[in-house]
Amino acid sequence: MANFLDPAILFFIFGIFAGSVKSNLEIPQPISRFLSLYLLMALGLKGGFALNKSGLTAEIALSLGLAVLLATIIPIIAYWLLRKYLNPFDSAAIAATYGSVSAVTFITATQSLDHFGIAYGGHMAAAMALMESPAIILAIVLANKARVAHAANQITTSKPLEPPATGMSKILHESFTDGAQLLLLGSMMVGLFSGDAGQKLMAPFSIDLFKGMLAFFLLDMGLMASRSFKGLRGKPPITLLYAIGSPLAHALLALAFCKLVGLPLGDTILLMVLASSASYIAVPAVLRHALPEVNPALYMGMSLGITFPFNIIIGIPLYTLIAEQLL
């Protein structure tokens, strides 16, 4: 119940309501972009300051390795499952979306853990950054393979093999040099090198303002989420089922791995949240060029219209409760 009374969550719910009643309330795009960059910068600084105190340990390396493993396994499972019901391009796009992560969901989860006094490692911000790209790369490989197979089946029509819509080198470059991801990692390095002195100087910016900025940004996300529902009209039922069922399934998969290797509670909850989240910023930006065969309304409607609200309102407290009970 405490999660629902959090001002940031209440602003998110209010945003959904305002969008649902077709209010003209909106956050200008430049301001929304600034808020997104601010949250990433503040999160990176916080992670860097924490890493400065803890140093690189075997437990941290294990957490980061597990994050990469999850980011590789989840899109493969997603593609294998969805391919039974959807064409290979739609399957690859959804696999990339759900194999990647949502920074805002992660940031909201860290605020929830802070509220309940559950400790977690600052390196988890690095885990989030590492989980951004593997799913994108795997999805593009699968989609390119599908294009070649489709073109080969059309060989009798004398049509040449269709080249990939976007070269793999370009995809790799976009995945690893995305501005938001670079800002997160760069801020973490600044926090790591500046240490306690930097933390004291940046506290008014990265700590005192953080909650209000998050609430304002979640208001905008609520408005966007309510307007993304229409993107799912007429879509196969499996997309709706997957958007609702996969977050919990992925979170439980992450919990199983974390329990197996003995990660602490806070890190476990954040890995559950990362595994359960779906990208609605980085992945769609790449897929618009890499998978032009897929209507963006499909994966945007699923991730932003269903999965994101589910995780923010229900998922984070539910994953926290499950992890506390089992660990």
Give the pLDDT band of residue 268 (cuts 50, 70, 90): very high
161, pLDDT greater than 50: no
Q: What does the pLDDT read at residue 132?
A: 79
Q: What does the pLDDT read at residue 76?
A: 94
Tell me the mean pLDDT in the region 104-127: 90
* Average pLDDT, rounded, for the chain: 85
Q: Token digits for 225?
A: 């989420």
Q: Highest-confidence range of 148-157, 161-170, 258-267, by mean pLDDT? A: 258-267
Taking the C-alpha atoms of residue 130 and residue 290, their distance in angstroms, rounded to an integer, is 20
Q: Is the pLDDT higher at 119 or at 55?
A: 119
| Residue 272 contacts residue 254 (beta carbons within 8 Å) | yes
Q: Tell me the pLDDT tens digit for each residue of 136-160.
A: 788 778 777 777 776 666 655 545 4
CA 30 to chain centre: 21
162, pLDDT greater than 60: no
Q: Is 37 exposed, middle or buried (0-12, 13-18, 19+ CB in 10 A)?
A: middle
Element (H, E) at 313: none
Q: Which domains does the chain have, with CATH numbers?
A: 28-219+231-326 (1.20.1530.20)
Cβ-proximal residues to 317 (8 Å cutoff; 6+ apart), any chain = 3, 112
Tell me the mean pLDDT in the region 288-308: 84
Element (H, E) at 117: none
289, pLDDT greater than 90: no
* SS3 per residue for 241-292: HHHHHHHHHHHHHHHHHHHHHCCCHHHHHHHHHHHHCCCCCHHHHHHHHHCC
Taking the C-alpha atoms of residue 219 and residue 56, their distance in angstroms, rounded to an integer, is 36
Tell me the mean pLDDT in the region 150-179: 58
Give the pLDDT band of residue 2 (cuts 50, 70, 90): low
CA 162 to chain centre: 31
- Rounded to the nearest 10 degrees, the angle between the axes of helix 168-176 and helix 134-153 is 160
Q: What does the pLDDT read at residue 177?
A: 65
Tell me the mean pLDDT in the region 158-171: 53
Taking the C-alpha atoms of residue 50 and residue 124, their distance in angstroms, rounded to an integer, is 10
Q: Is the pLDDT higher at 135 or at 245?
A: 245
| Residue 298 contacts residue 91 (beta carbons within 8 Å) | no
User: DSSP character for 83?
Assistant: T
How far, CA to CA in Å, does 286 sit from each of 48, 209, 268, 306? 28, 31, 29, 21
Q: Letter for the amino acid at 56?
A: L
Say whether 134 sits in a helix, a strand or coil: helix
Tell me the mean pLDDT in the region 244-249: 95
Q: Tell me the pLDDT tens digit for each residue of 30-39.
A: 998 898 889 8
Lowest mean per-residue pLDDT among 146-150, 166-170, 192-196, 241-245: 166-170
Q: What does the pLDDT read at residue 231?
A: 67
pTM to 2 decimals?
0.83
Give the pLDDT band of residue 164 (cuts 50, 70, 90): very low
Closest listed residue to residue 120, CA positions, set 313, 271, 290, 19: 271
Closest listed residue to residue 178, CA positions, set 132, 217, 237: 132
20, pLDDT greater than 70: yes
Q: Is 293 exposed, middle or buried (0-12, 13-18, 19+ CB in 10 A)?
A: middle
Show the CA angle centred on residue 100, arms to residues 10 and 86, nearest 5°: 105
Q: What does the pLDDT read at residue 119?
A: 92
